[in-house]
Structure 1
Amino acid sequence: MKFNLMSLGDLVTDPVTGERSTNARRYQMFPEMAQIAEGVGFNGINMGEHHGIEYIYSAPPVVLAAIAERTSTLRLGTAVTLLANLDALRVAEDYATVDVLSQGRVDVVHGRGNFFASTYTLFGQELEESADRFKENAELLDQLWRGEPVHWSGRFRPSINGETLQPAPVQAAADCMWIGGGSSLESVELAARLGWKLMLPSAFGDPSFFTKVVDHYLAVWEQVGHDWEPEIGAGWHVWVAPESQKARSQWEPRYAAYHAWMNDLLGKVNPSIPKQNQRAFNFEWLTTKGPAIVGSPDEVVERIASLSELLKVTTHLAYMDMGGMPEGELFEAIQLFGEKVIPQLA
């Protein structure tokens, strides 16, 4: 079992202290988080990508390249790369560059990003085209990543006429490409057909919703007949402290603030939020039946083990820096997770 530290880059006023970080400091803090994570045994880090909204991370390859120079073993991932919105050739070039600089440590989790409809408007695209754009770009990227001359034509970008991806990546696509999704079986089938890994999202819904998604992914994978094993990851909202009550008292006000902030944001950017994510804030339900894993190290271990069994997850992404959490408390929690949780499950 592997554990990655995830950040989506929300910029929220801490409801406990009333303090608010800055845009620049949030960017500077993520490489520091990554260094701490590597030092205490995390497998990797995953960084979000958004455009034109209050999630502030917009250029993961730039930040991941900086982190590559400060680390030696940490996997360098996304959460997610907006493959439907971006040009597949440029995506391949950017992340192949990170792969080369890090000597083969990049992990690219691709998503449609249709949860944030305003991004399509910003890029001059139609939301109704998101599935077709995503499929076309994923198939093209899979060809490009092989490092061989590509002859290709499609619907959404100019043809490629024998050009080769530069630089040639260190890893094969099967080792580092993921599709992030769970609400669309089309995306799940695409992941299985390409032989890419599947990353389930860190939404506010019931994790059991994704059992049928996992089963479908594995069934299609078996039908295709790849000669390597599939891998499933999932993102969670995570907090750990030495004692259960301390973890809950630290986390609840920040989690509530993040939930309110995100729902307000979604109301602005998404006219039709999926039903499984339209749930009122209920801390007890979220931390026992939902996507939040909060408590003492032993409680966190028990919940992760249960969710791993439910969804066949082997890579867990821990989203810990949400809701304006102060740096000191955050860094302590990352260290505690590495020292007391990972050794029991790795």
Structure 2
Amino acid sequence: MPDRIVFGAAALPEPERHWLAAVERLPIESVWQGGHVLPPTGTGEAITRLALMTAWTERVRVGTAILLLPLYQPVIVAKQLADLDARSGGRVSVGLGVGGEFKHEFDSVGVPITERGARTDEAMVLLRELWRGEPVTHHGKYFDVEDVTLRPVTPPPPPGSTSGPAGGQPGGPPLLVSGRKAPAMRRAARLGDGWMPYLMSPSAYARSVETISAEAAATGRDLGGFEWMMYVYCSVRADGDRARADVASFLGGAYGDKPASMLDKIAPSGTPEQVAARLQEYVDAGVRHFVISPAAHEDTLEVVQLAAEEVLPRLTLPAGGAAGPVITTAGAAS
């Protein structure tokens, strides 16, 4: 993994062509958007949004944050994701989680909500089997596949190219596990290519690093190349009071009208200097790839621009310059 800190951005409130074009001109390395199948508001679905971002970008990595994997039949979503990865030249990443906040979504697609974790685990295994490009026979508890081969679309070569189509990533897009609880951490350690939690304080992130590292060690897994990410709601403004008002308005009601002091632990806000100080705590806890999700109802591009141009340069790797958290033999983050 890169020996540096990188920023991505959440395309809020919806992927929009001109917004994405502006973000691609910034020192941003990725853009992300998720979505529910039956949201309570008129917002998009994860695969549809991913397709738009894939079509409307040229340079950045594009990803779901998050895809509620247990709601999807894995053979269908494997084909969709493989095709988008191929058409994007291998730029797709899959942030995934189990969901559960809207029970009616699970009822409507015939998936018992109590099975969402186990279905996600099996689906992750099946996705990887299908993305190998070889015949797959899989007889699991929830999914049954007999001698099928998934073939991603073959994209045309870029105009003027003599090297042929770029295609997708060998073995398929990386699977990045989201969540906040111990089962999600264990899933990341056993099956994920990375960890991308949300609404988590720096100290909680450090504890998650310990949990994931210990679980990986117990299963004999080497976490080399594992991505240590954080989806962070924040607002950055020249006027720090405006930024703090952004977060209070954007998240306060949704999360029980939490006091400003509590919101600040999980959603940094303020001037570039103030937000950089808060994000440095996450870097010290192990984060190397931030997804900046503007916690604001307006001028979201300004938040991303200030984050990319004035916050990111202020962040520094811990002594030693490790590309991820350094784990001692006892499994503690240093």
Pick the TM interval, shorter chain: 0.7 to 0.9
Shift of 1:338: 2.1
1:181 aligns with one of 179, 182, 186: 179
Partner of 2:273: 298
User: In 2, distance between residues paired with 1:103 and 1:338?
Assistant: 24
User: In 1, distance between residues paired with 2:252 and 2:104?
Assistant: 20
SS in 1 for 2:229: strand
User: In 2, distance between residues paired with 1:160 and 1:36?
Assistant: 46
Alignment RMSD: 2.5
Shift of 1:341: 1.6
- What amino acid does structure 2 have at the position aligned with 1:44? S
Shift of 1:188: 2.4
User: In 1, distance between residues paired with 2:80 and 2:130?
Assistant: 12
2:26 aligns with one of 22, 34, 40: 40
Shift of 1:248: 2.7
Gaps of 5+ in 1: 10-26, 264-278
> Larger relative CO (CA 8 A, sep 6+): 1 or 2?
1
Question: CA 1:184/1:193 → structure 2, altered by over 3 Å: closer, same or farther?
Answer: same
Question: CA 1:281/1:182 → structure 2, altered by over 3 Å: closer, same or farther?
Answer: closer
Mean Cα displacement is larger for which, 127-136 or 30-39? Answer: 30-39
Partner of 2:210: 215
Question: CA 1:303/1:216 → structure 2, altered by over 3 Å: closer, same or farther?
Answer: same
Shift of 1:137: 0.7
Partner of 2:189: 192
Task: Tell me if structure 2 keeps the 8 A contact 1:6–1:46.
Answer: yes
Partner of 1:319: 293
Percent of pairs identical after alignment?
A: 23
Q: TM-score under structure 1 normalisation? A: 0.78
User: In 2, distance between residues paired with 1:253 and 1:227?
Assistant: 37
SS in 2 for 1:239: strand
Partner of 2:329: none
Shift of 1:114: 2.2
Shift of 1:30: 3.5
Task: Tell me how many residue pairs correspond in the alignment.
Answer: 299
SS in 1 for 2:31: strand
Q: Does 1:340 align with 2:310?
A: yes
Deviations 1:121-146 (A, max 9, x none): 22122111112211111111121122
Gaps of 5+ in 2: 155-166, 317-334
Q: TM-score under structure 2 normalisation? A: 0.80
Deviations 1:182-240 (A, max 9, x none): 3133x322322235211112x3x645334332212122334423373222111111111
Task: Tell me if structure 2 keeps the 8 A contact 1:178–1:197.
Answer: yes
Shift of 1:105: 0.6
Task: Tell me if structure 1 keeps the 8 A contact 2:231–2:290.
Answer: yes
SS in 2 for 1:232: strand
- What amino acid does structure 2 have at the position aligned with 1:220? E
Shift of 1:167: 3.7
SS in 1 for 2:252: helix
Q: Does 1:259 align with 2:252?
A: yes
SS in 2 for 1:211: helix
- What amino acid does structure 2 have at the position aligned with 1:182? R
Partner of 1:19: none
